[in-house]
Amino acid sequence: MIFGRSQRGKPPVEPVTLKILVAGGFGVGKTTLVGAVSEIRPLRTEELLTEAGRPLDDLRGVEGKHTTTVAMDFGRITLREDLVLYLFGTPGQERFWFMWDELAEGALGAVVLADTRRLEGCFAAIDYFERRSLPFLVGVNCFDGAPRYPAGEVRQALDLDPGVPLLMCDARDRESVKEVLVGVVQHAMATAEARRRAVTT
Look at residue 4 in the predicted model and tell me its pLDDT. Answer: 44
Report residue 14's pLDDT band, with 50, 70 and 90 as the boundaries.
confident
Any idea which of 22-36, 37-51, 66-80, 93-107 has the lowest mean pLDDT? 37-51
Q: Per the domain annotation, does 1 fall within a domain? A: no
Distance CA 63, CA 134 (A): 32
Q: Per the domain annotation, does 166 fall within a domain? A: yes
Q: Per the domain annotation, does 64 fall within a domain? A: yes
**Domain span at residue 139?**
7-200
Q: Is the pLDDT of residue 185 over 80?
A: yes
Q: Per the domain annotation, does 99 fall within a domain? A: yes
Look at residue 187 in the predicted model and tell me its pLDDT. Answer: 98
33-42, 54-63, 86-95, 133-142 — which one is most confidently predicted on average? 133-142
Look at residue 54 in the predicted model and tell me its pLDDT. Answer: 47
Q: Is the pLDDT of residue 6 over 60?
A: no
Q: Per the domain annotation, does 180 fall within a domain? A: yes
Question: Which CATH number characterizes residue 76's domain?
Answer: 3.40.50.300
Any idea which of 48-62, 93-107, 122-136 has the lowest mean pLDDT? 48-62
Look at residue 68 in the predicted model and tell me its pLDDT. Answer: 52
Report residue 65's pLDDT band, with 50, 70 and 90 as the boundaries.
very low
Look at residue 26 in the predicted model and tell me its pLDDT. Answer: 85
Mean pLDDT on 44-61: 52
Q: Per the domain annotation, does 90 fall within a domain? A: yes
Q: What is the pTM of this model?
A: 0.80
Report residue 1's pLDDT band, with 50, 70 and 90 as the boundaries.
very low
Look at residue 70 in the predicted model and tell me its pLDDT. Answer: 47
Mean pLDDT on 98-103: 81
Look at residue 42 in the predicted model and tell me its pLDDT. Answer: 84
Tell me the pLDDT of the chain averaged across its residues: 84
Q: How many domains does the chain have?
A: 1
Give the long-range contacts of residues 105-108, CB within 8 A, separation 24 or more: 106/19, 107/19, 107/20, 107/21, 107/134, 108/18, 108/19, 108/20, 108/135, 108/185, 108/188
Report residue 5's pLDDT band, with 50, 70 and 90 as the boundaries.
very low
Angle at 37 between CA 11 and CA 16, to 5 degrees: 30
Q: Per the domain annotation, does 2 fall within a domain? A: no
